[in-house]
Structures are given as structure tokens and as C-alpha cells.
Amino acid sequence: MDLGLNNKRVLVSGASRGIGRAIVELMLEEGARVEFCARGEAGVAAASVHFGERAFGSVVDVTRAESVSGWVTAAAQRMGGLDIVIPNVSALAGGEDLDIWRQAFDTDLLGSAAMVKAALPALRASQAPSIVFISSVSGREVDMFAEPYGILKAALLHYAKTLSARHASEGIRVNSVSPGNVYFADGVWGSIERDQPDTFARCLAQNPLGRMASPQEVANAVVFLASPAASFTTGTNLLVDGGLTRAVQF
């Protein structure tokens, strides 16, 4: 299937590893041009070498709205506009401490909102504008990552639905993807496997398919929803969880 992504101008945050990195890789394979960011300079540099010349990386702290706005504006200028925006950064925060809540709120929710707000003028000028948020199954049901991670991922689902209704008349599609357990060596599940093997084994056994997802499997869903191939899909949340959740979606 031709996803219609050739020469589309794509913005992805948190793309130096994991799901974000896989999204950039697939976008490039489909012929898109990509600007990406991450917080760490070393990660951005390594990813830039890996991606090659069709992807331009920047060091951005998404908790600083002015930095996000400056990055989005500069990226749109370099690419001559924007077609697709994918906020992907998460603090992956857990715990009751209010400082952790603030970090998670500033990163997961305000970081995404700042990126979208800065990108909207360019998206309005696009012929195929699309936004895809990365939520989580933790935003749909209570699990071991419920507080504050899951709560803010649930807020992202509401935010995505709100934006989809608000901007449908402008042709801007807004969707979200909710991954289940996603394994990569330098990710959260890789860390749990090394440091808490019993917890890892228990959580792995809860996956009906008998394994966790790869970042590439999540990226496949994100890139499809972002692409013109999904041109009549907006306001939806796509689960990529291998059957982990049991609730019926109506």
C-alpha cells in the first residue's frame, strides 16, 4: 500500500530511541522528510548519523514551551511547512511525590500541547495535516504505571479527541495510539528485565500473544494513522497491545 508520505514534512519528538526512533525510520522509508528532537545531545547526534540526511535533529527540552515553539518554527521554515506532527516524549514517571507529578505533567501533557500549539499555523497550510499522539494502555485502565503516568496518558486521549473535534472543519486529523508493553533493551521494560526479573516475568506472562511489542510494530500503526492512507480517520484511539487489555471498545 502506498501511504502517500513521499515528501511529506514530519515532526517527531523523543526520537533518539524506542518508538520515536522507529517512527522516524519508517517515515524515511516512505519518503518523508523528518525533523526530530530529543533532550540529550549525544542521543540526537547518534540518531542523526543513523537516520542520514533526510532527517534533521535538534536538542530540545519539551518542558520549556519557548524551546518547543522555537524548534517547531525553525523546523517548519527549514522544510517549507509541516504536514504531520507526532508528540512522543514522556517522563515515564511513577510515584506519589508532587515533584514527580509536576515533571510528568510538564513533559507528557504540556510538552505535547506546546508542540501542537506551535505547529497549528503550519498545519493549517498543509494539504494533508495530521497529528498523532502516543498514549498508552495505562491511560485506559489501572495498572502498575497508573500514577501519574497513566493518568496523564488518559488526559492525552481526551486532548486528542478534543482537538479532532475542534479542527475537523480545517481538515486537520487528530488520532492517538495506545501501545501495550513495548520492549527494547534501553527502554523501561529492558530496565525492568535486568533489575526486576520476577516483575518482568509476571508482566510478560500477562501478554496473550506471549511476547511484548517491538517499537517497529507500534510505529507501523502510528505512521499509518498519520498518513493520507488514513484520510477519513480522525478522533480515534488505536490500541496496539497484543490483546493485553480486555475492555470492549464501542
| pLDDT at residue number 16 | 96
**Structural domains of the chain, ranges and CATH numbers in brackets:** 9-184+215-240 (3.40.50.720)
Q: Read off the pLDDT of each residue in 61-84 and give the average, rounded to a whole number.
A: 98
pLDDT digits (tens, 9 = 90+) for 228-245: 999 999 999 999 999 999
CA-wise closest residue to 52 among 74, 27, 70: 27
The question of whether 136 is a catalytic residue gets the answer yes
Tally of CA atoms within 13 A in the half-sphere of 247 that contains its CB? 9
| pLDDT at residue number 1 | 84
The question of whether 90 is a catalytic residue gets the answer no
Q: Is the dihedral of CA 50, 54, 56, 57 positive or negative?
A: negative
Does the pLDDT of residue 146 top 90, yes or no? no
The question of whether 130 is a catalytic residue gets the answer no
The question of whether 231 is a catalytic residue gets the answer no
